[in-house]
Chain A
């Protein structure tokens, strides 16, 4: 039985943030309703008896956009659809991303009742001025409210997203954000360092970004402070209390299959990578005409070289790194036989390290990981 994850994309938001390059946009209620119906259709269309005999869903993730704009009733319907057409593990991790200002007590209770057992709340910063620059629709007090409500209604697995390297952010600001978040004791913290993506408003704005040294200092501070409070860094930007690692994300990084539903959603499915069309009208049109096979684009059949490369570039994001023995079992070749030169080169420079059975990045290696990973790409 293979464990798989399911990702459901909710492309709606109240207003797009200035740094966001995810597929999302504000939409009216009619469009939302039609989109959710289309989603149900796409999930149902996947059904295969054979597939369900060998695959079990251990994680479902509602991402966006702002999934918390969707009512508890609809989240329930979507989950019921998944359960109807897939085999879902009783202990599956079922997460939803939630933005402050979009979920009240009633909705959160509804989510819990519908089967959601993990919340991921986007805070980014506790400084309201910075939140405003980011184009977030909430302030810190709204975040605090939703966090406390979530605890009160009974969520016991919550992630908080924070960001460093933000415009006008000082080391003190960031340190305060860390302290505040730590005082709330979430089970999981995702700490991202801002990347200015092409196509976002930030690309063309004049931003007062922290200098390089300060930015790196924020990054190092995250690891030190969170470690003091018992959070283990298990991936470049992710920290968790023991046993609270995000199961869904680990599926991505360990090369297991996942199925994506909704516009732009990506899948890794039995040796193929593909994604759903990005245009919402086209998506809904195809869904209502039940042209499921026309819905996919960027279909890529992975060769053995691709699979080995992906196993390394994704696996190395995780702090425990890549297991040499598991690599050999999976591919029938020794990792050092395939990537020996690259590993040696960067090990000598102190960027990669082999300890026991595992190949992993050193701290300095993580800082410049793209440069190293580029050399794992097939010729």
Chain B
């Protein structure tokens, strides 16, 4: 394979700027697929991605393009996620590329994540080619956006292709730019093997399938590969590249190529994303620079609704972790929910996606506890613990002080909504750091915000208060001391550990009250009255009551009713089984989830 005819690139963009659509058009116009075979968004092959219209997992595809110079080029397109929670995965994909297409919406211009992704790409020394998309929109202002790209990012953009991915307009200009401007990969195919693992999937027949970019050397069937970090070794069974939606075997992968390796690897832990694959018989002296380890920001408990599915949940989490190294989990137990896992996520969307994937792809019913951040608890004996589960909070008498993580947030918003957004940040205990006008109609607001104030529903609140015009990016800052308290929920005078959470003193009363109201609606009436209380230590701060059931009786039961009546009672009994028993109160699974959505009614 002639290296000079290979281009490895990705597409980066702010969410909704048309990245996946452009990928579809590229695949379509290069003739790897006929128009009839094209499904919308070919690259997004998980159901969940299709439904939400976003890209979660990095995917790769190889296409063949005949350029205007008459030569055929192999283009390896690696798709990247757009959401801020998945920066880590973007970074993984970028490491496998030599260049990036930057898609910017001709109407919306540069958004927060456009910037974030460009900086990531430049960090990886990638050649960035700007492309203006959606020029078919009536509101498109390509010249304004071109100027913006030059002014704000400092990229040459006057000759940027003006395209409509949706209508397939000028896609060939994009491909030409890829061939002309993105450098061909370098690397010696005869040097010791170094291949970067940027993703992997588990297949029940083939075992772990490693997605990699070969930087140096060659790998082929029969090579004894060695993972430089995990030290695992296995004989290669097959190598190949990515067709659209399928794996296509080939003889070898050499320096510059992007493809996959299978090697009967059964243990998902052996193939860490970011690790370097080398040849056991001709080892590289040093691994490639890996990815920086990411720390989970948001934690919550995940429990199987059916306690006997604990093992299934563990297996599923292990498999997900295989291609999502940012997912963290460890076993924990709850009095209310039994055996489960404390899981760490990059953000709330990441949490939701993992939860949905567990439910859909692994057919698990889950109970999720309220998400929280990592608090630092400084104890009077001078030690410090990192608290990820509110139930583990030491007795208040042992606590010297507590600290919570802050983020520095940048919110880009049209000037009409600046006031609304400032109000929102104020409510969330934000500290105003400044505002910059990007141009006359748009401003960049800078705030420092406690992370625990933005993990619940900040995105939603932001969108609704700006009619969808605000975009948001944040990065972690330091920990700062804060007056934090643990709020406990008592149901029928018994504390329910799975419902406890840490909250700022000022918001405790409000949250406690809302929790009680929500739970009152969720808990069915029992044969006795059930008090629901919110408490800080021994102090009750809110109370609601689920009244005792007055009537649950079938007035008529004659010959024809008996079968129906039995079904009714069976259902009732089944319903009871699905509930969580706390003392003698049966609590539906949904009650544990409902407290995640406290701010819905606002």
Where the two chains meet, the residues of A that have a C-beta atom closer than 8 Å to any C-beta of B are 5, 7, 63, 192-195, 212-213, 215-216, 236-237, 249, 251-253, 258, 260, 264-268, 273, 275, 298, 300, 309-310, 313-314, 317, 349, 351, 366-371, 373-377
Where the two chains meet, the residues of B that have a C-beta atom closer than 8 Å to any C-beta of A are 527-528, 549-560, 562-563, 565-566, 568-570, 572-573, 576
Asked if residues B552 and A258 are in contact (CB atoms below 8 Å), the reply is no
* Distance, CA A3 to CA B550, complexed state (A): 38
From B550, B560, B570, contact of A367 by CB (8 A): B550
Expressed in whole angstroms, the minimum distance between the Cβ of B497 and any Cβ of chain A is: 26
With A193-B555, A371-B572, A374-B573 as contacts: A265 and B560 at CB distance below 8 Å: yes
Asked if residues A374 and B549 are in contact (CB atoms below 8 Å), the reply is no
Asked if residues A370 and B558 are in contact (CB atoms below 8 Å), the reply is no
From B553, B557, B558, contact of A366 by CB (8 A): B553
Asked if residues A313 and B569 are in contact (CB atoms below 8 Å), the reply is yes
Asked if residues A371 and B552 are in contact (CB atoms below 8 Å), the reply is yes
Expressed in whole angstroms, the minimum distance between the Cβ of A317 and any Cβ of chain B is: 6
Asked if residues A252 and B553 are in contact (CB atoms below 8 Å), the reply is no
Expressed in whole angstroms, the minimum distance between the Cβ of B130 and any Cβ of chain A is: 57
Chain A at the B interface: mostly helix, strand, loop or mixed? mixed
Asked if residues A260 and B559 are in contact (CB atoms below 8 Å), the reply is yes
Expressed in whole angstroms, the minimum distance between the Cβ of B585 and any Cβ of chain A is: 13
Contact partners of B551 in chain A: CB under 8 A = 193, 212, 215-216, 367-368
Asked if residues B552 and A266 are in contact (CB atoms below 8 Å), the reply is no
From B553, B554, B559, B569, contact of A258 by CB (8 A): B559
Asked if residues A377 and B570 are in contact (CB atoms below 8 Å), the reply is yes
Contact partners of B549 in chain A: CB under 8 A = 368, 371
From B553, B556, B560, B562, contact of A370 by CB (8 A): B553
With A215-B551, A368-B549, A368-B552 as contacts: A374 and B572 at CB distance below 8 Å: yes
Could you pull out 13 A-B pairs where Cβ atoms are within 8 angstroms? A7-B559, A194-B555, A236-B553, A266-B560, A273-B563, A300-B563, A309-B566, A349-B527, A368-B527, A368-B549, A369-B553, A370-B553, A376-B569
Contact partners of B566 in chain A: CB under 8 A = 309-310, 313, 377
Contact partners of A194 in chain B: CB under 8 A = 555
With both beta carbons as reference points, the residue of chain A lying nearest to B567 in the complex is identified as A377
Contact partners of A349 in chain B: CB under 8 A = 527-528
From A5, A273, A376, contact of B562 by CB (8 A): A273
Contact partners of A309 in chain B: CB under 8 A = 566
Asked if residues A275 and B553 are in contact (CB atoms below 8 Å), the reply is no
Asked if residues B555 and A260 are in contact (CB atoms below 8 Å), the reply is no
Expressed in whole angstroms, the minimum distance between the Cβ of A209 and any Cβ of chain B is: 12
Contact partners of B528 in chain A: CB under 8 A = 349
From B555, B558, B570, B576, contact of A252 by CB (8 A): B558
Contact partners of A260 in chain B: CB under 8 A = 559-560
Contact partners of B559 in chain A: CB under 8 A = 5, 7, 251-252, 258, 260, 265-268
* Distance, CA A308 to CA B166, complexed state (A): 67
* Distance, CA A37 to CA B562, complexed state (A): 28
Contact partners of A236 in chain B: CB under 8 A = 553-555, 557
Contact partners of B572 in chain A: CB under 8 A = 370-371, 374
